[in-house]
Amino acid sequence: MDIEPLKIASFQIRSRLFVGTGKYETYELMRDALAETGCEVVTVAVRRERMADKQGRNILDFIDPAKYTLLPNTAGCFNAEDAIRTARLGRELLDGLDNKGAGWVKLEVLGDKKTLLPDPVGTLEALKVLKDEGFIVLCYTSDDPVMAVRLKEAGAASVMPAGAPIGSGQGVLNPSNIRIILEQLKEGDADYPVIVDAGVGTASDVTIAMELGADGVLLNTGVAGADDPIEMARAMRLAIEAGYLARRAGRIPRKLYATASSPIEGVIGTKD
């Protein structure tokens, strides 16, 4: 059976794995790893042009804007104003490339340099402004269910709760909160997209997120930082499919005691 496309606002996305483009040792490795993940959406950051390095290669030489939908982020912004300006610049860049991603943004407004946890107040502020300017906003947030609801109410096209701190590789630290977020955001709105973003360390983290009911997973360091990013990219592709299918297949319940898998009667024995 086919995996259904993920719908976010007007976007129909074939692969539920969103992959970041940062932290790779080389652009070539990044290009090959992205291809191996089978992803369609890749995130990119917006930064000042380094003017000293004329020999510097551009990431766009290694990501085909016709093949991938670029999702610009506002990573590194610690206040709403910077995030808003960055989002606008990101849209301008994607407009120039004729990429399908022009107009959407992964909104991150960070609160703390060590934890890279989001600043909920700044995030909400920026979300409202960007929504009014016509952006489709995917909001990075912590796994706080109250905040998740506020962001949806304020018009986020998708809420993206972190599994664990960015780049920490700890997987989904609080599955209960993720489940609560899923339940509350999808109440009466089953298709509202919730994507677990941040903290993914290995394939099973992705599968666990999907089995909890997430609609997708966004990761970067988990692949870029692996010993063998290409192999890990492949593992992640399999993991997202496994998790999606397992969820759809309907798992058995967890029980305290055993229920035998083989028939109880007809066993040869010494008891007769």
Partner 1 sequence: MRIRINGQWHDRSDGIRVAGLLRELELEPRRVAVELNKKIVRRADFDKTSLAEEDSLEIVTLVGGG
Interacting residue with partner 1 among 85, 128, 131, 247 (CB under 8 A): 85
By CB under 8 A, is residue 90 in contact with partner 1? Answer: yes
CB 82 within 8 A of CB 75: no
Which tokens in the block code for residue 198?
């941040």
* Shortest spacing between CB 167 and partner 1, in angstroms: 8
For the chain, the residue count is: 272
CA distance 267 to 27: 62
Interacting residue with partner 1 among 6, 8, 13, 30 (CB under 8 A): 30
CA distance 150 to 131: 14
Q: Which amino acid is residue 59, in one-letter code?
A: I
Marked catalytic residue, from 54, 106, 113, 271: 106
Q: Considering the complex, state which of residue 89 and residue 245 has its C-beta at the smaller distance from partner 1.
A: 89
Helix (H, G, I), strand (E, B) or coil at 127: helix
Q: Considering the complex, state which of residue 22 and residue 111 has its C-beta at the smaller distance from partner 1.
A: 22
Please name the residue that has the structure tokens 């394939």. 203
Active site (annotated) includes residue 106:
yes
Interacting residue with partner 1 among 15, 37, 43, 141 (CB under 8 A): 43
Phi, psi of 107 (to 5 degrees): -85, 120
Interacting residue with partner 1 among 7, 88, 131, 186 (CB under 8 A): 88
Q: Considering the complex, state which of residue 8 and residue 44 has its C-beta at the smaller distance from partner 1.
A: 44
* Shortest spacing between CB 229 and partner 1, in angstroms: 13
Which tokens in the block code for residue 112?
């703390």
By CB under 8 A, is residue 209 in contact with partner 1? Answer: no
CA atoms in the 13 A half-sphere facing the CB of 134: 4
Residue among 161, 170, 157, 222 at smallest CA distance from 13? 157
By CB under 8 A, is residue 67 in contact with partner 1? Answer: no
Q: Which amino acid is residue 38, in one-letter code?
A: G
By CB under 8 A, is residue 51 in contact with partner 1? Answer: yes
Residues 92-121, interacting with partner 1 (CB under 8 A): 92-93, 95-97
Which tokens in the block code for residue 270?
């010494």
> Could you tell me which stretch among 65-73, 120-128, 171-179, 232-240 binds partner 1 (CB under 8 A)?
65-73
CA distance 126 to 120: 10
By CB under 8 A, is residue 164 in contact with partner 1? Answer: no
Residues 8-27, interacting with partner 1 (CB under 8 A): 20-24
In DSSP terms, 19 is beta-bridged to 42, 219
Catalytic residues: 106
Q: By CB under 8 A, name the binding residues for partner 1.
A: 20-24, 30, 43-49, 51, 54, 58-60, 70, 72-73, 75, 85, 88-90, 92-93, 95-97, 166-167, 198, 218-221
